[in-house]
Amino acid sequence: MVVEVRVKLKEQVLDPQGEAIRRVLAGLGYAEIEQVRVGKLMLLEVAGKDATAVRSRVEEACREVLANPVIEEFEVRLP
Amino acid sequence: MKWDAPATVELAREHGLSEEEFERILSDLGRVPNLTELGIFAALWSEHCSYKSSRVHLKKFPTRGPRVIQGPGENAGVVDLGQGWVTVFKMESHNHPSFIEPYQGAATGVGGILRDVFTMGARPVMILDSLRFGSLDAPRMPHLVDGVVRGIGDYGNCVGVPTVGGEVDFHPSYNGNILVNAMCVGVARGDGIFYGRASGPGNRVVYLGSKTGRDGIHGATMASDVFDETASAKRPTVQVGDPFTEKLLIECCLELMGKGLVVGIQDMGAAGLTSSAFEMAARAGCGLTLDLSRVPARERGMTPYELMLSESQERMVLVVTPDNVAPVLEVCGRWGLDAVEVGTVIPEPEVVARFEGRQAFRLPLAPLVDDAPRYDRPWVEPAPAAAVTLPNLRDREWAADLREMLASPVFASSRPVWQQYDQSVGASTVIGPGADAALQLIEGTNIGLAATTDCNALACSLDPFNGAAQAVAEAVRNLACVGAEPVGVTDCLNFGSPENPGVMGQFVAAVDGLAEACRAFEVPVVSGNVSFYNETSGTAIVPTPTVGMVGIVPGVRHRPRSHWHLGDAIYLLGPLEGELGGSRYLQIVLGLEAGPVPAVDYDGERRIAAVARDLVRLGLAAAKDLSDGGLAVAAVEMSGGTVGCKLSLPASTSPVRVLFGEWRVGFALATPVAMEPALERACEGLPLTRLGVAGGTKMVVTLGRKTVLEASISELAALSEKGLGWLSEA
């Protein structure tokens, strides 16, 4: 099944990339866009049918590899 | 809990303050502080900001000298270089953040030390990093090494300041508490120095740089807190650095100072707005008002507590005359940086802050800064390591021992580390990383500025006094290898908990050793940093007083070389044998961290270093000092991994002391044959031995007629290259 993983910086962490995009937007006439936060969307094709087992395995992969739990948070979505 | 709730002793304890300290706050203020005021006391009275356990001892350092313009107490030290130039430098630790989040921790460590230097009006020109890691098989350790190195590299590379030197060492005592000590060296014209002083009542306070977020709140108190097993669960929000904003800040601040638009300037480092506001006011003998509602906030609903204690990166405080506020804001706007007037300088020695139309706090300066607690903590004198009975060290396979040493992480080539760093941005680097010291030209002149960081923590754990003094001696020797004479020292003193009398004893002895050595070499200490509480679950790191030394070459005429060439004559300047106490040979080959560390022979060091320095300046020789690993390791390094050597010593010498003995006042020298007579003349009156010539593909050492070591030089060098090779593959 295809599992969707969203990784983004925790709310309290500075996002220099998002801030750079915000500045460009403001400069090109989109001043009403007040904040930009950039994250990652990953699509994982996982072998297995048991949704609970797949979820717990993908969440483990998120904690260990795909996200940096010190500064990032993640969300796992199953089909 | 609300930001203006009354403080209690429990809250004080949660902020790392003792019961006595809380009582003292009550009597200093004559009332109960609110939560925000308590947070401010906790930050400024933390070990990190107040130096409360170290200050009584740091007074022993020599801090004056004919070249010293600004000693300790400012953001960084300032030393005169002549011809109207000055250098500004400092070293600081970022140990705890780097252990929690290695990439951002190390990156923001570099960002912080850069700000300490450019806030004085100097352009940062060199970064050096002294790194200490645990065993590579300890949990997370390869991840920490990789993260720290990438963090330093990415920040330095983006901001456009070359990383030119430093050191990497490994010891199991750093398994739960790595060390990241970053040093920055800057250059300015002598009349262009600015200080962190909020003087002139009526002048305005301007906030410049990134917005304030909720990151790193309690960073300063965290840095003064022992790690326990729950540290990773507690995980305070770490700061994320933005080197591109830092680059804008550098250029913006240097422009503001160059145009004379600011009265005083300081970065917001540990304890954020709190430390910059209180320290700037205290230095000038004035006070400040602040309107916290005007501080640019990254998130909604931030409270005075958060605004005062946030450690968001890339922020500065400027003090500006009322007439200059508009021009200052104009310059900042041109650099794309947020700048806001947030307060005024007042004559009364206090900081008064308003928030949403009412008073947030009102605190007198004296109890927070000048009269902050000072402790003369109990300490016990460390017993220097005794001599050990060594096994039979006569007929060993010396080549095998050398291979074992070169294969250990301690002697692993740091190439995979520094090849990730931009070493030459700015186009002024003469000698970059991998040599004994880094050397740069001051732009547009032929004045050479050299820098090195040194500390043999193994030796300091055996004998903190002599180990620390030897670190200073080694720095002097390293500078001599690039032809530089020392002009000043910065230090970063990394120790365990000062509340442990044994650790405090190590600290006192190391400070005494540094002070004695700096006095003997006539090199003043102009800046520095103390990092206590480097321990995990009650186990302290080995004492690590890192020495950063800056030197000058008045006129650079050529690039000093660090390798020998085919056909060069090889000399040993200094005694033939070294000592084994506290040596790397005992540590790595015999598994012994033992033995006495000899006292520094100051007279000999000064005389021999002066000669080596002159030989290098005149281009008469390539020089390498004999410290870690002794002559055998120095020879492998000087070979460059390509040109072998044949070295002969008298039959009467001890092979282990000749090959691996340390702590000798000495240099290996290599010189073209035609220059031999000149070299010998220059060394007259000093112990000088011609060891042999460079050539062939092997390193061969004979004592009398007996060959004690024979090995392929490329194979030896490859062993050292392999150690950290995995870093460049990651």
CB-based contact A70 B100, cutoff 8 Å:
yes
For tokens 């900042």, the residue is: B332
pLDDT in tens, B107-166: 999 999 999 999 999 999 999 999 999 999 998 999 999 999 999 999 999 999 999 999
CA B533/CA B499 separation, integer angstroms = 9
When CB atoms are compared, the residue of A12, A19, A70 closest to B214 is A12
Query: Model confidence over B459-489: pLDDT tens digits?
Result: 999 999 999 999 999 999 999 999 999 999 9
Tell which residue, B200, B678, B228, has the closest CA to residue B497: B228
Lowest mean pLDDT segment, chosen from B135-144, B237-246, B288-297, B678-687? B237-246
**Shortest CA distance from B217: residue in chain A:** A12
Strand order in the sheet with B315-320: B264-267, B315-320, B204-209, B339-346, B287-291, B350-355, B358-364
Angle, in degrees to the nearest 10, between helices B102-118 and B141-159? 40
Q: What is the CATH number of the domain that holds A23?
A: 3.30.1280.10
The backbone torsions φ and ψ at residue A18, rounded to the nearest 5 degrees and listed phi first, read: -60, -40
N-term to C-term CA, chain A? 7
Q: Work out whether the CA dihedral B473, B177, B727, B89 comes out positive or negative.
A: negative
Does ipTM surpass 0.85 in this model?
A: no
**Pick from A12, A14, A68: which is nearest to B242 by CB?**
A14
Q: Both ends of chain B: CA-CA distance in Å? A: 45
Summarize the confidence of residues A5-12 as an average pLDDT.
Answer: 91
Q: Which of B15, B94, B171, B218 is catalytic?
A: B94
Q: What ranges make up the beta strands (E) of B301-447?
A: 315-320, 339-346, 350-355, 358-364, 429-431, 438-441
Give the mean pLDDT of B544-561: 96
**Chain A residues touching B300 at Cβ < 8 A:** none
Model confidence pLDDT, tens digit, residues B267-324: 998 889 999 999 999 999 999 999 999 999 988 889 999 999 998 999 999 999 999 9
3-state secondary structure at position A61: helix
Q: How many domains is chain A partitioned into structurally?
A: 1
Question: Would you call B100 and A15 a contact, using CB atoms and an 8 Å cutoff?
Answer: no
What is the C-alpha to C-alpha distance for residues B257 and B123, in angstroms, rounded to an integer? 11
Q: Which of B48, B57, B96, B218 is catalytic?
A: B48
What is the per-residue pLDDT across B349-400, written as a single tens digit (0 to 9) for each? 999 999 999 999 999 999 999 999 999 999 999 987 888 888 888 889 999 9
Is B565 in the active site? no
Dihedral sign, CA of B452, B458, B460, B463?
negative
**C-alpha span between B203 and B263 (Å, rounded):** 8
Q: In whole angstroms, what is the distance from residue B656 CA to residue B579 CA?
A: 9
| Model confidence pLDDT, tens digit, residues B605-619 | 999 999 999 999 999
* Reported pTM: 0.93
Pairwise CB contact (< 8 Å): B215 & A19: no
Query: DSSP assignment of B613-625, as one string?
Result: HHHHHHTS-EEEE
Question: Encoding tokens for residue B398?
Answer: 């010396």
* Chain B touched by A71 (CB under 8 Å): yes
Domain that holds residue A63: 2-77
